Amino acid sequence: ATGKPVVSDLITGVLSGKPTIILAYPVRDPADRVVGAVGIGLNLARLQTLFSSIPLPEGSVVTLTDAQSRVLARSREAERYIGTVVQSTPSPIRDVPATQTLAGVDGIRRFFGNAIVDRGPWLLSVGIPTSVAAARIAPLWRRNLAIALSAIAAIMIVSLWFAHLLSGGLGRLRSSVRQIADGDLSPPSKSKVPNLELAQLQDGFITMAANLREAHQALDHQIEQERRMRETLQSLQRQVVRQERLAAVGVLVSGVAHELNNPLQAILGTVELLERDNGLRPEVREEIAFIKTQSGRAREIIRNLSRFSSQQTGPPALVDLRDVVAEVVQLRQRDLDASSIVLEVDVSALRKVYANFTEVEQVTLNFVINAQQSIEATGRNRGRILIKLFDVGKKVRLEVHDDGPGVTPEDEPKLFQPFFTTKPVGKGTGLGLSVSYGIIESYGGSIGHRGNDWGGATFFFELPIIDPASVPPAPSSSGTSTDDPAPVLQRSISPRI
């Protein structure tokens, strides 16, 4: 009547006597009117052969049930169970869950997978025995358990390794902190760390240690400077006292030289008068000549002392450095002979320089005195000093060589610094070479030091030569004479320092 296909309930076939389901289909004429029906009977027992061809595990079963939960077809023992009600109170087919576990009509518990066939509607269920499912799942479960345990073990090993790295990095930082706390500010070594945070912490700590080290060094430097300033101040105070004493000695030396000069002039005048007497015996004349020679020598020594002790050095003029060398030799010869030091002179320079005689003499005398004291410091019985004077291009060079111990590399940069001396207390002021440096530089020359083949030191200076025609006229000498007494070391504290 509806014009749609119809499925009958489970019946017993009239001819076959077997459980059957009739499928009725309408027959229509060309005008689409239902003029009849075609019924197809399905022998449900024969469906067993269709279901049995499905590959399933042992003990599995395929069941087709209707809305009343009656078995319509079954893959196992179909004749026995077709028509059997599975559930006494069946649920609507569409409410049956897709999977469930329950006991079948044969009493065996199975895992069922359910699907709805809309044509019936029917419920198609495929059941696998729980024991078979468990046997199939057991290897998978064991494999998954092994994988899980392996993963857990790997995670624990990685965690322990990471914890070890983290602990090692923190331990090194802790050691560095303890090292700094103990006063050791040497730079910590940078090592590998397991993560970015520890790397940043390590970099920050190394920077902090470097800043602490720099601050400590700055404080040490400041303290050292303050200590040197105190020592320099104390040295200056001692030098002032010493300079005052030496200035008084200079005044005394100048005065004594002036007083000795008058008797010497009288002695020389008398000797010259005696020489005019033609009746003197030859041996007497020899004695008179000896007296005249020694008196002249004494006069030259007094003149040099007066000139060197003068505070007013006078203006620059043309100076023959050969005369400077001769006066220095005359001043130091006796003292050098007393110390068994041989003084040699090698003079080949012919040109003159524009300078102040007394200042250049002071520089040369400083070189010779330093050489003598250097040789005496070795404790040897004999020594050797060589004064060389020669022309070098447009300059005249004076060198003083000695065979003393020389200058150590540590002391070379400080040779010409004020108040630097390697001599014991009372032997040097530390001003001689610094004053000499200022004097030579003021005349456009150069001064320096080097070692020599004797194993000692060589101090030298060079002064430019000058054309005599370009020398300015000397100022009037109406001022104070350079022979006036004055403190001998006043010149040593010249503003040129």
Q: What span, in angstroms and rounded, lies between the C-alpha atoms of 318 and 327? A: 16
Tokens of residue 207, six digits: 């920077």
pLDDT at 133: 81
Q: Is residue 486, in this structure, part of any structural domain at all?
A: yes
Residue 154 lies in a domain: no
pLDDT score for 496: 32
Establish if 161 belongs to a structural domain: no
Query: Is 251 in the same domain as 121?
Result: no
Indicate if 309 and 452 belong to the same structural domain.
Answer: yes
Single out the residue in 91, 115, 130 at which a domain terminates: 130
Q: Note the pLDDT of residue 110.
A: 86
* Structural domain total, the chain: 2
- The reply to whether 126 and 265 lie within a common domain is no
Here the tokens at position 194 are 């397991």
| DSSP track, 414-436 | GTTSTT---SPTTT--S-HHHHH
Q: What per-residue confidence (pLDDT) applies to 311? A: 47
Q: Which of 130, 150, 172 is the last residue of a domain?
A: 130
Nearest-CA neighbor of 436 among 398, 404, 465? 398
Tell me whether strands 99-103 and 122-129 are parallel, antiparallel or unpaired: unpaired
- The CATH number for 27's domain is 3.30.450.20
Tokens 């019985």 belong to 381
The token duo for 119 is 């044509």
Measured between alpha carbons, how far is 453 from 347 in angstroms, rounded to an integer? 20
Q: What angle do CA 116, 120, 123 make, to 5 degrees?
A: 30
CATH number, domain with residue 370: 3.30.565.10
Query: Peptide bond preceding 472: is omega within 30 degrees of 0, i.e. cis?
Result: no
Q: 115 and 256: one domain?
A: no
Domain that holds residue 46: 6-130
How far apart CA 488 and CA 361 sit, in angstroms, is 13
Contacts of 354 (CB under 8 A, 6+ apart): 316, 317, 318, 319, 443, 463, 464, 466, 471
Residues facing 73 on adjacent strands: 64
Q: Average pLDDT in the 198-226 region?
A: 83
pLDDT tens per residue across span 450-479: 999 988 999 999 999 987 766 666 554 443
**What pLDDT band is residue 493 in, cutting at 50, 70 and 90?**
very low
Residues 126 and 247 in one domain: no
Q: What is the pLDDT of residues 169-190, one digit of tens each?
A: 777 777 777 877 777 777 677 7
Give pLDDT tens digits for 115-163. Answer: 888 777 788 888 888 888 888 888 888 899 999 999 999 999 998 887 8
